[in-house]
């Protein structure tokens, strides 16, 4: 599919999205800002139901396309070398260097926001490159301690060599590198979050987190994805051990047999699990930009008398800055996930997959060139 077709599909989807009242999920809508009905777009000549079906197909297609592109090595090599690609990625990526990331973290801290720093990288197949990725994280942990920043780090296991062929090499190297980072974090009073990748890595990620937590309790946690059927059982197991969880909806393409296909089901599972986590006594991260879910959470903790600081909201750098600041003003903890570094392509493609309207931003920038 050409970029032009992608943009056309996106414009159509965007117009319908703008006309569709904000979907109320399994959670109640935001009490202070009820969804406003919007006029159906004059460019859409079809009946709303037919149009909505088209929209769903369009969005599914775009999501699959961008997720497939995120794993395309040739596209990645090309994009990450291009100056234009670098410029576009700045929408979601804080910069290229450790210094850029530390400066962004200091700025966010000054605004009352906590941070998790992600030195972007994944699918690393060269052991030397995996060692290099770990070295950047050691540098980050030292810089955070030296500057007294309210920041921890997030990393991916395939960035630390998990995919390197050879049964022993990949997993053993990964365990050593991540283990050393978790020990470093424990020494400096910090925390390592192991991001969750596609379902091929779920079991390995959870198992490694459990082993490292047993060695350095409280210095490591992981991420669970509400779209997976297995997540409820995983959450109970991790909470039972006192392991900190970041709950997100999930950013990869997963087969229907293991994941909820309908967004409403993913949202309902998210709502159920976020409440369980907030009430668990384990400090968890509720990672979403979904305003209806966030509102439902705020209302629910008030109702239950749960401390606003018993959990934190987490959002991505550059997305819903207004909402991040509003929650801080209301006394909630908010952590911003700040990615940086030259290996930005897969992360950037997943952000486009989540919100096709972001392609319009991309297209506008291409036209400006």
**Residues annotated as catalytic (active site), given as ranges:** 195, 246
319-358 burial: b if 16+ Cβ within 10 Å, else e: bbeebbeebbeeebbbbbbbbbbbbbbbbbbbbbbbbbeb
CA-CA-CA-CA torsion sign (38, 42, 48, 51): negative
What tokens were used for 182?
Answer: 């978790």
Can you read off the two tokens belonging to residue 51?
A: 């149009």
Residue placing its CB nearer to ligand FDA in the complex, 77 or 261: 261
- Alpha carbon distance 205, 197 (integer Å): 9
Least distance (Å) between residue 222 CB and ligand FDA: 8
Instruction: Answer yes or no: are the C-beta atoms of 139 and 113 closer than 8 Å.
Output: no
Q: Which of 137, 178, 184 is nearest to 158 (CA)?
A: 178
Please state the closest distance from residue 260 (CB atom) to ligand FDA, in A: 13
Give the three-state DSSP class for 274: helix
Interface residues toward ligand FDA, by CB under 6 A? 195-196, 223, 225, 246, 248-252, 287-290, 314-316, 319-320, 337, 351, 354-355, 358
User: Measured between alpha carbons, how far is 361 from 23 in angstroms, rounded to an integer?
Assistant: 23
Least spacing, CB of residue 248 vs ligand FDA, in Å: 4
Residue whose CB is less far from ligand FDA, 173 or 349: 349
Q: Could you tell me the smallest distance in angstroms from the CB atom of residue 354 to ligand FDA?
A: 4
Nearer to ligand FDA, 158 or 358 (CB): 358
Q: How many CA atoms lie within 13 A of 104 on its CB side?
A: 26
């Amino acid at each position: 599919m050409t970029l032009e077709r992608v943009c056309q599909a996106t414009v159509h989807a965007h117009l319908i999205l703008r006309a569709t009242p904000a979907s109320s999920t399994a959670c109640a809508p935001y009490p202070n800002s009820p969804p406003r009905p919007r006029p159906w777009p004059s460019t859409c000549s079809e009946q709303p139901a037919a149009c909505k079906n088209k929209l769903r197909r369009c969005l599914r297609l775009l999501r699959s396309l961008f997720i497939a592109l995120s794993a395309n090595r040739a596209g990645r090599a090309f994009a990450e070398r291009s100056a234009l690609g670098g410029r576009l990625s700045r929408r979601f990526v804080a910069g290229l260097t450790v210094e850029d990331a530390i400066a962004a973290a200091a700025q966010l801290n000054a605004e009352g926001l906590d941070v998790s720093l992600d030195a972007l990288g994944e699918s690393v197949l060269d052991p030397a490159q995996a060692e290099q990725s770990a070295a950047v994280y050691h540098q980050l942990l030292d810089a955070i301690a030296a500057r007294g920043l309210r920041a921890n780090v997030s990393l991916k296991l395939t960035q630390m060599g998990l995919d390197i062929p050879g049964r022993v090499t990949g997993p053993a190297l990964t365990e050593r590198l991540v283990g050393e980072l978790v020990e470093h974090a424990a020494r400096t009073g910090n925390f390592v979050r192991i991001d969750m990748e596609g379902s091929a890595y779920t079991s390995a990620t959870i198992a490694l987190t459990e082993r490292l937590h047993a060695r350095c309790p409280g210095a490591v946690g992981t991420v669970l994805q509400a779209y997976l059927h297995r997540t409820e059982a995983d959450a109970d197991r991790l909470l039972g051990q006192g392991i900190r969880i970041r709950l997100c909806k999930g950013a990869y393409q997963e087969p229907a047999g293991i994941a909820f296909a309908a967004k409403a089901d993913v949202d309902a599972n998210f709502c159920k699990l976020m409440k369980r986590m907030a009430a668990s006594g384990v400090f968890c991260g509720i990672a979403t930009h979904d305003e209806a879910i966030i509102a439902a959470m705020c209302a629910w903790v008030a109702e239950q008398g749960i401390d606003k600081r018993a959990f934190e909201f987490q959002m991505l750098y550059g997305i819903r800055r207004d909402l991040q600041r509003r929650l801080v003003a209301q006394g909630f903890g908010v952590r911003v996930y700040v990615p940086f570094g030259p290996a930005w392509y897969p992360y950037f493609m997943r952000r486009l997959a989540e919100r096709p309207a972001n392609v319009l931003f991309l297209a506008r920038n291409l036209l400006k060139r």
